[in-house]
Amino acid sequence: MGIAEVNSTAIKALAGEIGFDKVGIIGPEHTNGPPWTRSVLVLAMATLDPAFDHEMYIEYDGRRRWHKFVYTILEAQGARLAHALREEGLRAESLTFEDSFGCIDLRVAAVQAGLGVRGLNEVVVTPKYGPRVRFTALFTDAELARDHPLQDYYCVNCTRCWGACPTGAIGPRGFDRSRCIAEFAPTPEMAERQREMLTFPTPATRLQCRACLDSCPVGERQGVFYFDVIP
């Protein structure tokens, strides 16, 4: 797997071969990546099947660890892309989700890279997949052509996610994170609400709420699970 000429088009094509569905490129501004970074690849993978949002929790000795299938795929594909770029003589480092918040706000980066726009529920809504997409990033010293934010907005005349949210976390006043049962670090009260309202396939596995994502009409309706959840 090689690149005949190192440029944004070639690198995006390589990312597609590795398994990413969309790629955008921004500069290092407003990120906290390696000091040698000259370009940041924002990498997206469609998550049309709810299985991507199964979470595994392991708790012992007072410590909770969680794992989500989609992040393992994103990290693995990001590492493969970074390795391929290093084979071409570039410096490249992919994002790990242990340090992602300290390095980059992926939602802001995805909007800056032209991959989508912020929806009413604060997630990124993409033209092709709607909000059913997850992101990662890769830092490189290659000087690549930048992408630009989209000029579209998809939520002007739609409030479907308001009615789909089981706790009323989305409404005319915006998004209230304290009421969202998809919260990763819940308060004891929210944890109890999650136990009451969410699906637990096993005692250690939780299906994260994605009612607002699945209710969104934006994007192609593809995948058997997506057809099942869209009325």
CA separation for the pair 124, 128 (Å, rounded)? 12
pTM: 0.88
User: Distance of alpha carbon 65 from its chain centroid, rounded?
Assistant: 20
- Closest C-alpha among 25, 134, 162, 119 to residue 75: 134
214, 182 in Cβ contact below 8 A?
no
**pLDDT exceeds 50 at position 230:** no
Handedness of CA 115, 116, 118, 124 (dihedral sign): negative
Residues in a beta bridge with 118: 124
**Could you tell me the residue ranges of all domains in the chain?**
8-155
CA distance 40 to 31: 9
Q: What is the Cα gyration radius of the chain?
A: 18
How far is 93 from 72, CA to CA, in rounded Å?
16
Residue 55: predicted pLDDT: 85
Average pLDDT on 157-181 reads: 91
Band the pLDDT of 4: cuts 50, 70, 90.
low
**pLDDT confidence band for 229 (50 / 70 / 90):** very low
Q: Which tens digit of pLDDT belongs to each residue from 137-156?
A: 999 999 999 999 999 888 88
Whole-angstrom distance, CA of residue 191 vs CA of residue 126:
30
Residues 54-109 pLDDT 10s: 888 777 787 777 888 899 999 999 999 999 999 999 999 999 887 677 899 999 99
Encoded amino acid at 97, one letter: F
**pLDDT for the residue 221:** 55
Phi, psi (deg, nearest 5) at residue 108: -65, -45
The mean of the pLDDT values for the chain is 88
The length of the chain, given as a count of residues: 231
- The more confidently predicted of residues 69 and 222 is 69
